[in-house]
């Protein structure tokens, strides 16, 4: 399968990237397609990037569908545990 489908979102925060350096990230690219490294035919892939830093300015994760679904639930649970504005 080759989905081509890509979802873009703006984000605001930091990520620890190449050579252990923290950097600001402003964009997320999310897609379900072939992984580079994970031993699965398809994964949910997220690139957190600072486009101004060039192609190397990203933190990438490749998660199986099941684990990505659990991660979504975990994020929602963590956010729900704290009130808005906290």
Partner 1 sequence: MGDSLTAETIQLAGAGGDDLEAYLARPGGDDRRGGVVVIHHMPGYDRATKEMVRRFAELGYDALCPNLFFREAPGAAPDDASATARARGGVPDERLVGDVAACVDHLRGLPSSNGRVGVIGHCSGGRQAVLAACRLDLDAAVDCYGAFVTGDPPAGSPTAPSNLVDLLPDLGAPLLGLFGKEDRTPSPEHVRELDERLTELGKPHQFHSYDDAGHAFFAVDRPSYRVAAANDGWERITAFFAKHLATQAA
Give contact residues for partner 1 (rule: CB under 8 A): 1-6, 8, 27, 29, 31, 33-34, 36, 39-41, 47, 49, 51, 54-56, 58, 60
- Cβ 83 to partner 1, closest distance in Å? 33
Nearer to partner 1, 15 or 60 (CB): 60
Nearer to partner 1, 6 or 69 (CB): 6
Q: Chain centroid to CA 34: how far?
A: 15
Two structure tokens written together for 6: 């890509």
The residues with which 9 forms a beta bridge, in sequence order, are 28
The whole-angstrom separation of Cα 69 and Cα 56 is 27
Nearer to partner 1, 2 or 78 (CB): 2
> At 26, which helix (H) or strand (E)?
strand 22-33
């Amino acid at each position: 399968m080759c989905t081509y489908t890509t979802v873009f979102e703006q984000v605001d925060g930091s990520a620890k990237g190449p050579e252990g350096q923290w950097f600001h990230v402003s964009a997320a690219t999310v897609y379900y397609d072939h992984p580079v490294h994970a031993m699965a035919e398809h994964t949910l892939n997220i690139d957190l990037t600072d486009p101004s830093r060039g192609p190397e300015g990203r933190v990438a994760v490749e998660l199986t569908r099941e684990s990505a679904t659990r991660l979504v639930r975990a994020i929602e649970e963590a956010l729900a545990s704290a009130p808005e504005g906290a």
